[in-house]
Structure 1
Amino acid sequence: MRGREWHTEHDGVTESLPVLHMSALETVVVTSALALVAARWLPRRIRRRTSVGASVLVFVSGVALVWSSVRWQMMPVLAGAALLLPFAVAAELRARSGRPSRGTRWWAVAPASLACLCLIAVGPAAAWALPVPDFPALSGPFAVGTRVVQWTDADRPEHATRDKDDRRAVVVQLWYPARESPPDARRASYLGRTDREADVVSDALADYAGVPGFLLDGLTRARTRAVADAPVAHGDGRFPVVLFSPGLGGVRTQNSAWAQELASHGYVVAALDHPYDSAAVVLADGRTVRTKVTATGDADRDEALAAKWTAVRAADLSFVLTQLDRVARGEIPGPVSGGMDTSRVTVAGHSVGGGAALQAARQDSRFDSVIDLDGFPHDPDAEPFPQPVLALTQDVRGDIDPDYIPRLTHVLSLSSATSYRLTVPGAAHLTFTDAPLYLPPVESLIGSRGRTEGPRLTAAASLAFLETTLRDQPDNLAAALAAYGDLTVHAPRGGT
């Protein structure tokens, strides 16, 4: 919904926002700090008790918060409390010594109280605007496991380096249907296998976005719904596969909510980090590879670069499918060996990753269908291809990007299967990623669909498409997709 009304879903329950996204300890610190401000304005008979109680509580909880690794959002709260505490302590010492209390005019106290109140209010506001992402509950019948692997393509040189012996390496994170883990099993970190990797990736994403690193420190604290290395679930047959390529400068985990939801419904999702393209890739040997992808500002030059980056990504996707097929056949070790059906595969991506998915499908007939999440096709040699496509787009006005929809429509018309373009009302480019879970709810950034509605809708529409293209479900796909936005059906040439 638009404006200030937002909705989120937790375990099937819809609730209204704002939600402050603060821990119990943070809530205690804020509440006691507010009580300390309010104590000065209470009737004299209860002022002292309130001031003493609030002072003790804010001191103890503040020390505990700092000891447990305080978030930057709480620093203004602690600063406001620190300004108030000396006055509260001084007043209590005077009272205990029997010295008369020195009265202060209200108009002299009001500015200081207001300043401290503003400092304290910054904390909850910042926690609401930039929260630690809380991943929605999974709706499928399976729990979800995850594991990260790295594969090197011995047949392909790494063109981003000058070392002629350097081969192209790709880091892949798998989300898969898993057996239920014990209740105390630790859920996997969002951004990396280790705290160091999470810090490196978070800093790289902030650098790429041009914002201070501390603004995204909530990402390093986030835990997903998946459990690392959980045992693979037993299903009826093997699980279909979905490959995913992130956006330009994005990382393999940027669509974790989407990937986990698909895995909970019986799909193996393999998301790629593209070295020298993704914001940061931490390799198995400990090296960190930062992005070398930058725009020049020249439209023709940038389009040529985008076509080059897209081609590299398309080759990465085909290589990873080859490796997954080897895992499925038991030729190389892998976390879902024997559980994947690599004869049923969809290739997907967001932004430039969506363009790479379209190009990979055209070049590699092993892909059965394509999901393009608001991605511009950059393939300069677009030709007819046999796979159906689901393209989810924001409502792009022609004066903002006049080439996008015509170019996408042309590519969809080249498919010899029925394809679908779903325009999602209220969506922005990042609506189709995890970004709504942790960025400020600003319409130009994440759209107007709230914290969880964008990721939920993206997964629901993707599942409807996957059930039809990979599992041959007889449902009316057009009717199912139309429930999520404005649908345009692209019938194959010669079709109706």
Structure 2
Amino acid sequence: MLATITGVRMSPWEILAVLSTAVLALVRWFPAGVRRPVSLAAAVVAVVAVLLLVVSGLRWQLVPVLAATAIVLPFALVPVLRQRAGRRPRRVRWWLALPGTAAVLALIAVGPLAAWALPTPVFPAPSGPYAVGTTVLEWTDPERPERFTAEPGDRRTVPVQLWYPAQAGQAQAARSFQGARTAQEARDVQNALADSFGIPRFLVSDVTSARTAAVFDAPLVEDAGKFPVIVFSPGLSGVRTSTIVLAQEWASRGYVVATLDHPYDSALTFTDGKPVRSRNQDAVTGDPEKDRRAVKANVDVRAADIRFVLGQLERLDRGEEASPLKGRLDTRRAAAVGHSRGGAAAMAAAQDARFRAVIDIDGGLRDAGVRPFAQPALAITSPVSVSENADFVPDLDGVLDKGGATKYRLNLPGTGHLSFTDAALYFPPLPSLLGTVDRAEGLRVTADATTAFLDSALRGDPGGAAGELGAHGDLTVYE
């Protein structure tokens, strides 16, 4: 159990360890009459708190605090013990003690600072009327060779995680570990993501202990008719569990969401039980023409994955593959959605007329080869992405300003590129990454805006989307 104090989420034992160690560091400056009882009390609390932390599971953020505890305990207790033995206490001279105290307090402060900057994520509860279930499927496309392997006969296999409206009252213990069935699986994926972005693994080690609201293989909700479908592609090197918050939110509001792993692009996925790692780093050559072709090829593969998954969902609905979702998927009301590179892929997939709506979440289109399309579309942008890339908005305008349906571009104030992913819950809240909004605020606003658009485009909400979209940010409407 974690408590929140001025934005820092720490357990009661962590808080006690910090406070008691700080008291031990400062006790040398207390009046002589209270030093002994305060030292003894603070030492007992610190030792008990540290032991409980070690037994219950020590977070790396608290290691500096434990180091400070080990430093100050002797200085605080030795004078007390000497006094009890009838010997004169020895005190360090003030001009040495003062910088020592300051150094120890700085070391103690590193713990809460790290807990604030890189916290254990807490997934917000979905706001819709439905509970959320999830399951993982693996589909092989017999029509597409796997371009990343030289094995003859190897065909493209796409792992897919479904998030769907489920019956309420499922066991809380069955909730997924960051979208995975086991903590170890979640840990493997998170380590691969850290490696792909050059982040030390220990900095994000707490992420895998976070439980979601989704329960694996929970029964589908009954008597609710057929559900519209969302096929979601994550960003470059992203995995199917990169945007759990949005997937759960859409599912709780009555959509079936298919989030994709793109093998050899996603940081880590599993096909036929074997780990498959990203090869995206091989695509960066420094040659502009080669890199342009690599981006186009990456988008094309992703778009083909998106279209293939929609076809498989159609098969599920028809009962061609055993599934509780038989007859419950309204694949005639389907949306292609993605973040970053996945947003470009979603727009590329819109050449398939089976998709009735498209959403690009902060995805640039440079070199993606996206052509105009006729379906309604929403592009969500962050001020950070717009300011960092002069071509970002013109490239979007070139696609959104054409076609036969109303399209929208919504610039969400205060957001950054990672504000739209689960990384917002556990990355340092730096403006260059997350903008200036609260950690979960970008996700909440994105869920509200995208749902308003999807309800209008797929469910025929008579209120339309423009009014609600405009309430969230700076809206451009392409008639």
Say whether the fold is shared (TM-score over 0.5).
yes
2:25 to 23, 30, 37: 37
Which amino acid is 1:179 matched to? Q
How far 1:39 moved relative to its partner?
2.4
Task: Specify the alignment match of 1:233 in structure 2.
Answer: 221
CA distance in structure 1 between the aligned counterparts of 2:226 and 2:374, rounded to whole angstroms: 24
SS of structure 1 residue aligned to 2:353: coil
2:123 is equivalent to residue 135 of structure 1: yes
CA distance in structure 2 between the aligned counterparts of 1:465 and 1:215, rounded to whole angstroms: 36
CA distance in structure 2 between the aligned counterparts of 1:380 and 1:65, rounded to whole angstroms: 49
CA distance in structure 2 between the aligned counterparts of 1:19 and 1:335, rounded to whole angstroms: 42
Task: Specify the alignment match of 2:423 in structure 1.
Answer: 435
Contact 1:310 1:379 in 2 (8 A): no
2:48 is equivalent to residue 60 of structure 1: yes
Alignment identity in percent? 49
Task: Specify the alignment match of 1:336 in structure 2.
Answer: 325
Q: State the Cα deviation string for residues 99-124 of structure 1 (Å, max 9, x = none).
A: 22223332222222221111111000
How far 1:406 moved relative to its partner?
1.6
1:188 to 152, 176, 188: 176
CA distance in structure 1 between the aligned counterparts of 2:339 and 2:440, rounded to whole angstroms: 17
Which amino acid is 2:295 matched to? A
CA distance in structure 2 between the aligned counterparts of 1:397 and 1:35, rounded to whole angstroms: 45
CA distance in structure 1 between the aligned counterparts of 2:370 and 2:101, rounded to whole angstroms: 65
Which stretch shows the higher mean deviation, 373-382 or 239-248? 373-382
Contact 2:21 2:42 in 1 (8 A): yes
Contact 1:147 1:335 in 2 (8 A): no
Q: State the Cα deviation string for residues 186-231 of structure 1 (Å, max 9, x = none).
A: 4211153322222222122112212211111122222222222222
Contact 2:160 2:261 in 1 (8 A): yes
2:275 is equivalent to residue 325 of structure 1: no
Task: Specify the alignment match of 2:11 in structure 1.
Answer: 23
2:384 is equivalent to residue 360 of structure 1: no
Q: State the Cα deviation string for residues 115-157 of structure 1 (Å, max 9, x = none).
A: 1111111000001001111122221111111222211222211
Task: Specify the alignment match of 2:409 in structure 1.
Answer: 421
- Say if 1:333 and 1:49 are closer, same or farther in 2 by CA, change over 3 A: farther
Contact 2:348 2:371 in 1 (8 A): no
Contact 2:80 2:89 in 1 (8 A): no
Structure-2-length-normalised TM-score: 0.94
Contact 1:283 1:289 in 2 (8 A): no
Task: Specify the alignment match of 1:351 in structure 2.
Answer: 340
CA distance in structure 1 between the aligned counterparts of 2:375 and 2:203, rounded to whole angstroms: 41
CA distance in structure 2 between the aligned counterparts of 1:384 and 1:286, rounded to whole angstroms: 38
Contact 2:265 2:279 in 1 (8 A): yes
2:245 is equivalent to residue 245 of structure 1: no
Cα RMSD for the two superposed structures = 2.1
Q: What are the equivalent positions in structure 2 for 1:204-283 lying under 5 Å apart?
A: 204-283=192-271
Q: State the Cα deviation string for residues 35-94 of structure 1 (Å, max 9, x = none).
A: 222322222222222211221221122122123331211110100001112233323322
CA distance in structure 2 between the aligned counterparts of 1:398 and 1:455, rounded to whole angstroms: 18
Which stretch shows the higher mean deviation, 407-416 or 395-404? 395-404
2:78 is equivalent to residue 90 of structure 1: yes
CA distance in structure 2 between the aligned counterparts of 1:351 and 1:397, rounded to whole angstroms: 10
Q: State the Cα deviation string for residues 429-480 of structure 1 (Å, max 9, x = none).
A: 2222222211111101111112111101111100000110111110131111
CA distance in structure 2 between the aligned counterparts of 1:399 and 1:257, rounded to whole angstroms: 26
CA distance in structure 2 between the aligned counterparts of 1:194 and 1:102, rounded to whole angstroms: 54
Which amino acid is 1:368 matched to? R
SS of structure 1 residue aligned to 2:162: strand
CA distance in structure 1 between the aligned counterparts of 2:55 and 2:384, rounded to whole angstroms: 47
2:80 is equivalent to residue 99 of structure 1: no
- Say if 1:55 and 1:282 are closer, same or farther in 2 by CA, change over 3 A: farther
Task: Specify the alignment match of 2:114 in structure 1.
Answer: 126
Which amino acid is 1:296 matched to? T
2:291 is equivalent to residue 302 of structure 1: yes
Which amino acid is 2:291 matched to? D
- Say if 1:385 and 1:77 are closer, same or farther in 2 by CA, change over 3 A: same
CA distance in structure 1 between the aligned counterparts of 2:367 and 2:229, rounded to whole angstroms: 24
1:450 to 424, 428, 438: 438
- Say if 1:140 and 1:398 are closer, same or farther in 2 by CA, change over 3 A: closer
Bigger relative contact order, structure 1 or 2 (CA pairs below 8 A, ≥6 apart):
1
Which stretch shows the higher mean deviation, 178-187 or 201-210? 178-187
- Say if 1:482 and 1:343 are closer, same or farther in 2 by CA, change over 3 A: same
CA distance in structure 2 between the aligned counterparts of 1:358 and 1:139, rounded to whole angstroms: 28
Which stretch shows the higher mean deviation, 346-355 or 296-305? 296-305
How far 1:260 moved relative to its partner?
0.9
Q: What are the equivalent positions in structure 2 for 1:137-152 lying under 5 Å apart?
A: 137-152=125-140
SS of structure 1 residue aligned to 2:292: helix
CA distance in structure 2 between the aligned counterparts of 1:327 and 1:65, rounded to whole angstroms: 48
CA distance in structure 1 between the aligned counterparts of 2:386 and 2:428, rounded to whole angstroms: 26
SS of structure 2 residue aligned to 1:348: strand
Number of corresponding residues: 475
Structure-1-length-normalised TM-score: 0.91
Contact 1:359 1:379 in 2 (8 A): no
CA distance in structure 2 between the aligned counterparts of 1:123 and 1:220, rounded to whole angstroms: 20
How far 1:379 moved relative to its partner?
7.3
- Say if 1:182 and 1:28 are closer, same or farther in 2 by CA, change over 3 A: farther
Contact 2:178 2:208 in 1 (8 A): yes
- Say if 1:266 and 1:235 are closer, same or farther in 2 by CA, change over 3 A: farther
Contact 1:390 1:420 in 2 (8 A): yes
CA distance in structure 1 between the aligned counterparts of 2:87 and 2:317, rounded to whole angstroms: 82
Which amino acid is 2:164 matched to? Y
1:402 to 368, 390, 394: 390
